[in-house]
Amino acid sequence: MRSLLPNHFRFMIFVNIYMAYTLSLFVILLGWIGIQMYKIGFTIWLSHKVVAYSICLIAIGAFLRILLFSIDVHTIRGILPAAAYQMLFSVAFICWCSVLFCVAIYWMELVETAKLSSFKHKRLYSFFLLGLSYVLLIPTCIAFSIFQDSTVILYLYNIAILLVILAFVSMTIYFGIGLRRMFQKSPKLNHLKVFLKKILNHMILCSIIFVLSALSAVLFLILGSNRWWYIAIHASIRFEEFALCGCVLYIFSRKRPPTPERSRENSELKKVPIVFAASASLRKMDDSTITLSAEEETREESNENQCISKEEGEDAPTRLELVISSLLGKRLANLAKEPDADNGTEIACLQNIKGVTNFTGMLMIRD
């Protein structure tokens, strides 16, 4: 059934829905940034300068979107001057395009991590990429805010944005293909494969969103004169902005996995409490079970120091394993010298404990 409301009122309802939809997207984005910074901590964010710079620019762009859409959506209500609105509206584009070139710098770091290539002048590349985004966007944004009725300026503004998109997509394709080839050739990257694959997938998703944004810009040039299409195309662009910022935040929030050596050390450290628990249970035995004279303790310490002073390798047992093994061996030797019918059960028990201890030590060494 066709609405009985006049066309103007129906259009304003559509505008209000668009305003609430846009505000919801960017409030979620700002909230996600705040939660991540609170959970991880400001110190860690600030220690990574490229990441901190990018996160701040994403937050500034999202805040400007919330501010402008809360006051006046595309100056439809006539609250803000058109020139001031267009200038602030374009600042968010400048911030986010600058973030995308920070992602390009992040690409360089990933490529160096994968040993695909090395950039001796990475800082020079960084300044060039960031400067390129500002050189392309700032003059066109200023001109567009001053000469809003000029079709030439509108085309130049969209061409500048498309050039930034093309540069980012080209870098994504180039480095993405190179990283996939490295995965297939180098087995040393197995511990980074899952990590880099997630990053690569989101880089590709960023490129797809960029292509959709370019199509939206072309449709806007063709259909933007109709006010209904004007709002509908802008609604799709707002979602593309939100998805793009979300992908970048996801990329920057991924932690590089530890190297195999570091993960091996962590796994060995996790096994230490098991051995300490075994030694604690041995200490609960009677004083008559494990006894050493002062001379025997001195001799054991000297033997331990000699074993520790040797060159440590992957097959060398730990000091704790040597102590446990020597104590059990000494007790078994004492029981063998004192034949007694009641000693059979204790000897069998100690032999089992010693066998389990040696087997555990072998497993720890092999791991």
Question: Given a cut of 50, is residue 312 above it in pLDDT?
Answer: no
Q: Quick one: 277 and 200 in the same domain?
A: no
**Domain end (from 223, 257, 291):** 257
pLDDT number for residue 332: 64
Give the count of domains, the chain. 2
Q: Quick one: 297 and 357 in the same domain?
A: yes
Band the pLDDT of 291: cuts 50, 70, 90: very low
Of 100-104, 116-120, 199-203, 281-285, the poorest mean pLDDT is in: 281-285
Question: Given a cut of 90, is residue 43 above it in pLDDT?
Answer: no
Q: Quick one: 25 and 108 in the same domain?
A: yes
pLDDT number for residue 282: 37
The answer as to whether 2 is a domain residue is no
Per-residue pLDDT of 44-102, as tens digits, reads 666 667 777 788 888 999 999 999 999 888 888 888 888 788 888 888 887 887 777 77
Per-residue pLDDT of 192-241, as tens digits, reads 666 667 777 777 787 788 788 878 878 887 887 888 998 999 999 899 88
Per-residue pLDDT of 254-267, as tens digits, reads 655 555 544 454 44
Q: Domain range spanning residue 130?
A: 7-257
Q: Quick one: 153 and 214 in the same domain?
A: yes
Question: Given a cut of 80, is residue 116 above it in pLDDT?
Answer: no
Over residues 333-348, mean pLDDT: 60
Per-residue pLDDT of 270-279, as tens digits, reads 443 433 333 3
pLDDT number for residue 239: 92
Q: What is the pTM of this model?
A: 0.59
pLDDT number for residue 89: 84
Give the Cα separation of 70 and 72 in Å (integer). Answer: 6
